C-alpha cells in the first residue's frame, strides 16, 4: 500500500512515496521541484500556483509509474498564508515570511497589545514574521486584499483546498500564527478583535491526522486519477519532523536541522511562564496532543544564502567543497550570533558576517573557508546555548541530542555540535518531515498504533548514527568567548 507525502521546504518541494513492507518503512522520492521565491519590486512572494502545478506533476508521475496512492498529506514551512475571496478564489500571491513589510510592525503591535498578553494567550515566540505581524503589516498598509478577504488559509491548508475544494485549518500550523489560543483551544477572538482582523475568516481547526476530504472531481478528471483521500497531517514541517524523531525516551531533545534549526523538546502542555517569555521560547502545537517547546535558530540559511552570493560573484562550489574549505580554515577565528536580525533577510551574507565581526572587534573572515567555518562553529555554539536553556525550562537533562533533517548530511556540523554540547548526537532520519507526514497518515488509518510505535518503526527502518563528542577544552573556551561577544551573557542575567 503506497501513500504520498508532499513536503515543501523553503527552497524545494518533494513528493515522496511511503510503503510499509515487513514492518519496515520505505520511502522513495517521486518528484522534486524548486521552490524559488519571487521578488517583485520590494515585495517577496511564494510562487504558490507553480507549487500546486508541481504537486500535480507528482500525482501524474505516480499514475504513470503505476503507483496506487491510497492517501496524501501536505506539510510545509509555517506562518505564511493566503486569503480567499467571496468567489472562493485566492486573492493575490502569498507573501514570503522574509519580506520586509513586517519591519518594525512587532513593536507597533506591542503598543496596542502588550507582549506579555500575546505570549500568555498563545505561548508562541516572537518572530517578526509571525502571521500576527504579517496581518498587522497588511492592515498598516491598508492592503486592498483585506477588504475582499473572506477566508484565511495557511500554506498547506491552501494547497489542500486547491486539491479538495474543502477549507479547513490544521492545528499544528494554526498555532504558529500566534493567533491561536492553545489553552482555550481555538482562534483567540480577543486578539483578532484587537488587531482589527475579522474572526469570520478563521475556520474550523482540525486536529493533526484528521481526514480532510478527497481530491476534487475536476482534478481527478484533469489528471485521469481516482478520488484519493487527503489527510490533514501535522502540516507544519517542524511538527512532522519532530513526529519522526526516533526517540525511545519520553523526554528527549531534538534539533530539526535544515534551512532553519529548530531545537527543543516535546511536552504535554505549553510552558507559558516568565522565563519562556524572556528567553523567547515557543510552544508550537504538535501531533496527538503534544507541544514543541523550542527555539528557532537561523540555521543553515546563512550558509545557503552565502553560497548563493558566491554564485552571483561567479564562484560556484558545492556544499561538500565549502565544508572541506571550512575544515582547512583556522578554528574559532571569528564568531557570530546566527540569530542577529542582520541575517534574516536574503542577501549578501558574507558581507554581513564581515560587518558583524568588524563591529564586535574580531578578525574579519575573508575567504569562503573562513566564512563557512565561522557560520558552522557559531551554529554549534548556539545549539549548546539553546540546549542548556531547554534543559532549564523543561526541568530535564538529556543524554544526547537527536538531529533530523537534511542538515545531518553536514557531518562536520554534526561533529561540532557533539563537541560543543559535550554529548552524543544521534543523527537520522534526513527526510524527517516527509517521514513524519507519512507516519501521521498511517496512524490516522490505523495501520500504525500511535506516535511511539511510529518512532520505533522509524528507528528500525532508517537507523540512527551516533556521533560521539571529541572532548577538548577548546570548545569550552570558545563557548565563553561566544557568550561574551554575542551579548548572550547579559541576556541571561
Q: Which residue has the cell 475568516?
A: 201
With CB under 6 A as the contact rule, which of the stretches 143-151, 259-267, 269-277, 444-452 interacts with ligand LFR?
259-267
Binding of residue 132 to ligand LFR (CB under 6 A): no
With CB under 6 A as the contact rule, which of the stretches 75-83, 271-279, 325-333, 406-414 interacts with ligand LFR?
75-83
CA dist., res. 72 & res. 437, Å (int): 9
Among the listed residues 262, 370, 438, 443, the single contact to ligand LFR using CB under 6 A: 262
Quick one: 234 or 335, whose CB is closer to ligand LFR? 234
Quick one: 191 or 262, whose CB is closer to ligand LFR? 262
CB atoms within 10 A of CB 449: 12
- Letters for 155-194 (x = contact with ligand LFR by CB under 6 A, - = none) are ----------------------------------------
Binding of residue 79 to ligand LFR (CB under 6 A): yes
Binding of residue 238 to ligand LFR (CB under 6 A): yes
With CB under 6 A as the contact rule, which of the stretches 51-59, 73-81, 312-320, 475-483 interacts with ligand LFR?
73-81
- State residue 168 phi and psi, 5-degree precision: -140, 150
- By CB under 6 A, the residues from 339 to 378 that bind ligand LFR are none
Strands (E), 316-428: 401-404, 425-427
Binding of residue 46 to ligand LFR (CB under 6 A): no
- Letters for 282-301 (x = contact with ligand LFR by CB under 6 A, - = none) are --------------x-----
What does the chain come to in residues?
Answer: 493
CB atoms within 10 A of CB 158: 25
**Buried/exposed code over 82-92 (b: 16+ C-beta within 10 A; e: otherwise):** bbbeeeeebbe
Tell me, yes or no, if 339 is annotated catalytic. Answer: no
Measured on CA atoms in the order 467, 468, 474, 478, is the torsion positive or negative? positive
What residues contact residue 457 under an 8 Å CB cut-off, 6+ apart? 23, 24, 25, 439, 448
With CB under 6 A as the contact rule, which of the stretches 188-196, 257-265, 303-311, 363-371 interacts with ligand LFR?
257-265
- By CB under 6 A, the residues from 208 to 237 that bind ligand LFR are 236-237
Of the residues 237, 337, 339, 340, only one is catalytic, namely 237
Question: Residue 299 in contact with residue 260, Cβ under 8 Å?
Answer: yes
CB atoms within 10 A of CB 294: 26
Nearest-approach distance from CB 178 to ligand LFR, in angstroms: 11
With CB under 6 A as the contact rule, which of the stretches 41-49, 198-206, 258-266, 435-443 interacts with ligand LFR?
258-266
Alpha helices (H) along 65-182:
105-112, 115-122, 131-140, 144-148, 155-164, 171-175
Question: Residue 28 in contact with residue 39, Cβ under 8 Å?
Answer: no
- By CB under 6 A, the residues from 15 to 44 that bind ligand LFR are none
Nearest-approach distance from CB 259 to ligand LFR, in angstroms: 6
CA dist., res. 289 & res. 491, Å (int): 32
Q: Which residue has the cell 548514527?
A: 465
Nearest-approach distance from CB 242 to ligand LFR, in angstroms: 10
Binding of residue 97 to ligand LFR (CB under 6 A): yes
CA dist., res. 292 & res. 154, Å (int): 19
Catalytic residue numbers read 237
Site for ligand LFR, rule CB under 6 A: 77-79, 97, 236-238, 259-260, 262, 296
Amino acid at each position: 500500500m503506497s501513500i504520498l507525502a508532499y513536503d515543501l521546504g523553503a527552497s524545494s518541494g518533494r513528493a515522496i512515496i511511503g510503503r510499509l513492507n515487513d514492518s519496515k518503512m520505505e520511502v522513495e522520492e517521486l518528484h522534486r521541484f524548486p521552490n524559488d521565491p519571487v521578488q517583485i519590486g520590494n515585495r517577496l512572494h511564494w510562487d504558490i500556483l507553480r507549487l500546486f502545478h508541481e504537486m500535480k506533476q507528482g500525482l501524474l508521475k505516480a499514475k504513470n509509474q503505476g503507483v496506487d496512492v491510497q492517501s496524501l498529506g501536505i506539510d510545509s514551512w509555517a506562518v505564511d498564508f493566503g486569503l480567499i475571496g467571496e468567489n472562493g478564489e485566492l486573492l493575490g500571491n502569498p507573501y514570503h515570511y522574509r519580506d520586509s513589510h513586517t519591519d518594525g510592525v512587532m513593536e507597533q503591535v506591542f503598543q496596542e497589545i502588550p507582549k506579555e498578553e500575546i505570549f500568555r494567550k498563545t505561548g508562541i515566540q516572537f518572530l517578526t514574521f509571525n502571521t500576527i505581524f504579517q496581518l498587522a503589516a497588511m492592515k498598516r498598509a491598508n492592503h486592498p486584499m483585506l477588504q475582499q478577504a473572506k477566508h484565511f488559509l495557511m500554506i498547506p491548508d491552501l494547497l489542500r483546498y486547491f486539491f479538495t475544494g474543502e477549507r479547513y485549518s490544521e492545528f499544528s500550523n494554526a498555532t504558529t500564527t500566534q493567533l491561536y489560543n492553545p489553552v482555550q483551544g481555538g482562534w483567540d477572538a480577543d486578539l483578532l478583535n484587537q488587531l482589527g482582523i475579522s474572526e469570520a475568516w478563521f475556520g474550523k481547526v482540525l486536529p493533526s491526522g484528521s481526514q480532510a476530504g478527497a481530491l476534487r472531481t475536476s482534478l481527478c478528471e484533469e489528471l485521469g486519477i481516482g478520488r484519493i483521500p487527503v489527510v490533514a497531517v501535522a502540516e507544519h514541517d517542524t511538527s512532522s519532523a519532530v513526529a519522526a524523531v526516533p526517540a525511545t525516551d519520553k523526554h528527549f531533545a531534538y534539533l530539526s536541522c535544515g534551512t532553519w534549526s529548530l531545537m527543543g523538546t516535546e511536552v504535554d502542555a505549553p510552558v507559558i511562564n516568565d522565563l519562556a517569555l524572556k528567553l523567547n521560547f515557543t510552544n508550537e502545537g504538535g501531533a496527538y496532543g503534544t507541544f514543541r517547546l523550542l527555539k528557532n535558530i537561523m540555521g543553515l540559511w546563512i550558509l545557503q544564502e552565502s553560497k548563493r552570493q558566491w554564485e552571483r560573484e561567479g564562484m560556484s562550489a558545492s556544499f561538500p567543497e565549502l565544508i572541506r574549505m571550512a575544515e582547512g580554515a583556522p578554528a574559532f577565528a571569528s564568531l557570530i550570533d546566527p540569530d542577529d536580525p542582520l541575517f534574516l533577510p536574503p542577501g549578501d551574507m558574507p558581507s554581513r558576517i564581515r560587518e558583524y565581526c568588524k563591529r564586535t572587534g574580531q578578525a574579519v573572515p575573508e575567504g569562503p573557508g573562513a566564512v563557512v567555518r565561522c557560520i558552522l562553529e557559531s551554529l554549534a555554539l548556539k545549539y549548546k546555548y539553546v540546549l542548556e536553556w531547554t534543559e532549564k525550562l523543561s526541568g530535564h537533562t538529556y543524554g544526547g541530542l537527536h538531529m533530523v533533517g537534511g542538515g545531518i548530511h553536514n557531518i562536520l556540523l554534526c561533529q561540532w555540535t557533539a563537541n560543543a554540547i559535550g554529548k552524543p548526537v544521534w543523527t537520522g532520519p534526513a527526510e524527517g518531515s516527509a517521514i513524519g507526514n507519512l507516519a501521521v497518515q498511517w496512524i490516522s488509518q490505523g495501520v500504525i498504533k500511535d506516535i511511539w510505535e511510529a518512532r520505533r518503526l522509524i528507528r528500525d527502518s532508517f537507523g540512527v548514527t551516533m556521533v560521539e563528542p571529541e572532548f577538548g577544552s577548546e570548545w569550552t573556551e570558545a563557548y565563553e568567548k561566544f557568550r561574551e561577544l554575542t551579548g548572550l551573557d547579559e541576556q541571561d542575567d
